[in-house]
Structure 1
Amino acid sequence: MVSTDETTEPAVEEPESRESAGDGTGGTGESRPARRRSVAAVLLVLALVAAGAGLFVRAQQLRDTPATDNLALTDTEATTRVAGDVSSALGKVFSYGPQDTAGTKESAKQLLGGKALQQYAALFGQVEKQSRDQKLTLTTHVVRAGVTRLSGTGAHLLVFLDQVYERQGKDPTTAAAQLSVTAELRNGHWQIVDIASR
């Protein structure tokens, strides 16, 4: 029989350190929370890189759209210049008097080209005769010229005109006109190459 005065305490083993044995790294790696933070940081960087690449591609697409190629939306100076040149040209080629058709014809040769010059030349013979026979004077004023499309060498405009007809011995008559005009930059000057009534 064993005496109860002597008690034997069971041996207690010290648990191994979590950092040395419990994380499966053999005591040389990081703790699990530190590893999780590292993985999260890497994923965040990858997500930011992917988002940045997506934004770059989208910005490039927007930059390459036809709307951004239209200088009428971005270049005020060039837009003002083409509108001024075309307005001045239309005022000259559509203004004449019975004694000044030769000057108008010469202006047309310089300010018009392509299809516009061919159309003008075909009609001007009739206009010249009418002006001479009826003592007719036509004065054209551009009320407004809007540039709808502009590139480095070409432009499309919508032009509103007021034309005043004066026949000898009669009151002047005013008529409004609306034209669609195409112009091209040639030798540093805008030349009208197509005119269509609207």
Structure 2
Amino acid sequence: MVQTAVDLANTLRPIKGEDDLESVEQLRDFLDAHPADGPPSSPADQGTGPRHLTRADLAEVRAVRETVRKVLEGANADAAEAAALINDGLRRSRATLVLRHEGDRWWTEVTSDSDRCSAHLAAATLSALASVIAVLGPARLGVCAGPTCRATFVDLSRNGSKQYCTRTCAHRASVAAYRSRRRPR
């Protein structure tokens, strides 16, 4: 679910002025690419085709995205504020911790008792970010250091030294630094 949080935040690219959540169809595509994050369907609903989404669903998911993005952008600078945003978002989504069991395996999952896709998305993404902060610390959430990129990331590396959203951005920064050093002064 951590990757879903990053993917959701990165549907907005502020420097480029691009937004991948401007239409209900784009929301449907996002939810289809992240299937575990929607409301659980009843047995009668399974396999009956695409879920019915509205402009209201789109507005609600965009609000969740704003919260997730604020957490990713600000956790390193103000962990208390990030925690307040997470806690408020979890309360609004009516999130509940559930203990699950299958075979010999036990796990916990945060779900929402709401039928709104935004509530399930908020519960899944915000609880995942909360887990990262609790286990690895708030410094593991960040924004790409690339000067032309504001993509967010979660650093799950062993040493916690990630500064860029992708290797592409890291490579661009490395090449720019090299060229800067090579310029005659």
TM normalised by structure 1 equals: 0.26
Higher Rg of the two aligned structures? 1
TM normalised by structure 2 equals: 0.27
The structure whose residues are more often strand, as a share, is: 1
Query: RCO (CA 8 Å, sep 6+): is it higher in 1 or 2?
Result: 2
